C-alpha cells in the first residue's frame, strides 16, 4: 500500500464516523496539498499523507493532552509507526508552538518533535489555513475569522491563533510566492 493510501485509510478510520465534519475538512486539506505538487516535486506525497493525518489527534480515542497536534503526532510515532517527517509535520502544523505555549506544553512538544523543513511545514500550514471546517477553500483571513467565531474570544484556541497569526500569514505568503514563481516560469 502506498504512503497516501495508508494515510487516507488511517485517517478515515479515526475520523469519518466519530467526527464527520473534521473528516470533510481533512479531505479538503488533502486536496489543497495535491495542488502543491508543482512546487514540492518529490515531497508532494509526504505532504498529502501528512494532510490526511494532521487532525487525527481530535479523534476521541486519541485525546490525551488535549492538544490535537501533539496527541496526533504521538499516535503516529508510537502506534502507527509513521516516518519522522510526517510525525514532525503533524506535531507542528499551523504554527502549533503557539498553542503549546498556551497549554504549557511547549517543552513537551519541542522536546519530542523537531520542526520539519520550512518548505514542507509552511505548505501544510497553508493547506490547513486555507480550508474551512467543511472542506471548502477559504481565504486565510476568512479562515482565521472562522476559527475565532467558532471558539469565541476567550477560548485557548482563539488566543493561540492570535499568537500564531504572523507565522500563519508568513506561511501562506511563502507558498503563494512559490506558486507564483512556478506559474511565471511556465509562461516565460
Distance CA 176, CA 138 (A): 14
Beta carbons within 10 angstroms of residue 119's beta carbon: 14
Task: Assign 30 to helix, strand or coil.
Answer: helix
d(CA 50, CA 55): 9
* Shortest Cβ 188–Fe ion spacing (Å): 35
Nearest Cα residue to 59 out of 44, 45, 28, 80: 80
CB of 185 to Fe ion, least distance (A): 30
Nearer to Fe ion, 92 or 187 (CB): 92
Name the site residues for Fe ion (rule: CB under 5 A): 55, 128
Which CB atom, from 74 or from 93, has the smaller least distance to Fe ion?
93
Of 52, 54, 36, 32, which Cα lies nearest the Cα of 44?
36
Backbone phi and psi for residue 154, each to the nearest 5 degrees, phi listed first: -95, -5
We find the least distance from the C-beta atom of residue 29 to Fe ion, in angstroms, to be 6
Shortest Å, Cβ 112 to Fe ion:
20
CB of 79 to Fe ion, least distance (A): 20
User: For residues 142 and 181, which CB has a smaller minimum distance to Fe ion in the complex?
Assistant: 142
Nearest of 69, 87, 171, 90 to residue 130 by alpha carbon: 171
Question: Quick one: cell of 101?
Answer: 505555549
**Residue number with CB closer to Fe ion (15 or 44):** 15
Choice between 72 and 107, CB closer to Fe ion: 72
Amino acid at each position: 500500500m502506498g504512503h497516501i493510501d495508508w494515510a487516507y485509510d488511517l485517517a478515515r478510520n479515526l475520523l469519518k464516523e466519530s467526527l464527520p465534519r473534521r473528516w470533510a475538512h481533512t479531505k479538503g486539506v488533502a486536496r489543497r496539498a495535491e495542488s502543491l505538487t508543482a512546487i514540492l516535486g518529490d515531497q508532494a506525497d509526504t505532504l498529502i499523507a501528512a494532510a490526511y493525518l494532521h487532525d487525527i489527534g481530535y479523534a476521541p480515542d486519541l485525546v490525551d493532552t488535549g492538544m490535537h497536534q501533539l496527541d496526533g503526532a504521538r499516535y503516529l510515532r508510537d502506534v502507527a509507526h509513521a516516518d519522522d517527517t510526517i510525525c514532525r509535520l503533524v506535531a507542528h502544523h499551523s504554527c502549533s508552538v503557539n498553542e503549546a505555549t498556551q497549554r504549557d506544553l511547549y517543552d513537551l512538544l519541542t522536546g519530542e518533535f523537531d520542526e520539519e523543513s520550512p518548505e514542507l511545514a509552511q505548505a501544510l500550514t497553508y493547506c490547513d489555513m486555507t480550508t474551512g471546517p467543511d472542506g471548502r477553500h477559504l481565504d486565510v483571513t476568512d479562515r482565521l475569522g472562522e476559527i475565532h467565531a467558532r471558539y469565541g474570544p476567550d477560548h485557548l484556541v482563539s488566543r493561540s491563533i492570535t499568537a500564531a497569526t504572523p507565522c500563519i500569514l508568513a506561511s501562506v505568503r511563502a507558498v503563494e510566492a512559490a506558486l507564483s514563481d512556478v506559474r511565471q516560469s511556465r509562461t516565460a
